[in-house]
């Protein structure tokens, strides 16, 4: 079995911009900058033969290169508790389009539809154990955050292993949006 997700990997300069935000909330578990990514589709546990089908489905997706701007910070809540702190992405039709194509391709091979609305973000901290007022103050203080825009020309299939400290994400396959199909 493999645990998979599809995401945009981020260039080093962008990771550096985002990681400059980290810190200042007691009890927060900051995501290591090497783990930053923008998830396009979480797949979860899947058998190896299904993973091959996922790879086949993703490898025929084409699109255009686009510019991605990370900006602003926000939170997710679960059971009334702020459990994640993230950096958002500026509204971007090309990104939404790419996410739709991936969703359609994966449904076509029989994966159950993603029920959550796509909300592009890069998680920077887990905050289950942080005082909510500190997390809220952080969001207010960094609301105007902006990373330098990055050019996106590919997306990546990652595997994930749950580690003790942090998950280990491994880029398995990179899909070039503008690759020419083999004749
Ligand atoms: P998150 O950063 O908002 O937690 C790998 O776990 C990636 O898949 C993370 O970016 C995570 O988003 C995302 N993801 C989406 N749904 C998930 C789920 N049900 N379980 C674990 N990760 C999920």
Report the Cα 150 to chain-centroid distance in Å: 15
Which DSSP state fits 56?
Answer: H
Q: How far apart are CA 8 and CA 11, in angstroms?
A: 10
Q: Tell me what pLDDT residue 163 has.
A: 86
Please report how many Cα atoms fall inside a 13 Å half-sphere around the Cα of residue 22, on the Cβ side.
18
Q: How far apart are CA 87 and CA 125, in angstroms?
A: 10
The verdict on pTM exceeding 0.85 is: yes
Atom of ligand 1 nearest to the CA of 121: 3
Instruction: Give the tens place of pLDDT for each residue, 55-77.
Output: 999 999 999 999 999 999 999 99
160 lines ligand 1 (CB under 6 A): yes
Nearest-Å Rg of the Cα atoms of the chain is 17
- Strand pairing partners for 150? 68
Q: How far apart are CA 124 and CA 85, in angstroms?
A: 6
Nearest protein Cα to ligand 1, atom 5: 5
- Burial track 15-24 (b if 16+ CB lie within 10 A, e otherwise): bebbbebeee
Q: How far apart are CA 67 and CA 92, in angstroms?
A: 8
84 lines ligand 1 (CB under 6 A): yes
Rounded to the nearest whole angstrom, what is the distance from the C-alpha of residue 56 to the centroid of ligand 1?
A: 22
Fold (topology level) of 2-176: Cyclic Phosphodiesterase; Chain: A, (3.90.1140)
Instruction: Give the tens place of pLDDT for each residue, 84-128.
Output: 999 999 999 999 999 999 999 999 999 999 999 999 999 999 999
Distances (CA, A) of 105 to 16, 53, 117, 182: 33, 10, 17, 19
Residue 183 has pLDDT above 70, yes or no: no
């Amino acid at each position: 079995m493999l645990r998979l997700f599809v995401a945009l990997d981020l260039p080093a300069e962008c990771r550096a911009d985002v990681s400059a935000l980290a810190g200042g909330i007691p009890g927060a578990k900051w995501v290591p900058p090497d783990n930053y990514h923008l998830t396009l589709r979480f797949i979860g546990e899947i058998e190896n033969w299904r993973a091959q089908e996922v790879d086949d489905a993703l490898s025929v997706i084409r699109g255009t290169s686009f510019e991605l701007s990370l900006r602003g910070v926000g939170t997710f809540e679960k059971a009334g508790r702020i459990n994640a702190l993230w950096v958002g992405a500026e509204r971007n039709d090309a990104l939404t389009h790419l996410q739709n194509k991936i969703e359609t391709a994966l449904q076509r091979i029989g994966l159950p539809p993603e029920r959550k609305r796509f909300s592009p973000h890069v998680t920077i901290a887990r905050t289950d154990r942080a005082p909510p007022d500190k997390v809220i103050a952080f969001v207010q203080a960094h609301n105007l955050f902006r990373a330098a825009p990055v050019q996106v020309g590919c997306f990546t299939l990652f595997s994930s292993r749950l580690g003790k400290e942090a998950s280990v994400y491994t880029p398995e396959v990179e899909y070039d949006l503008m690759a020419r199909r083999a004749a």
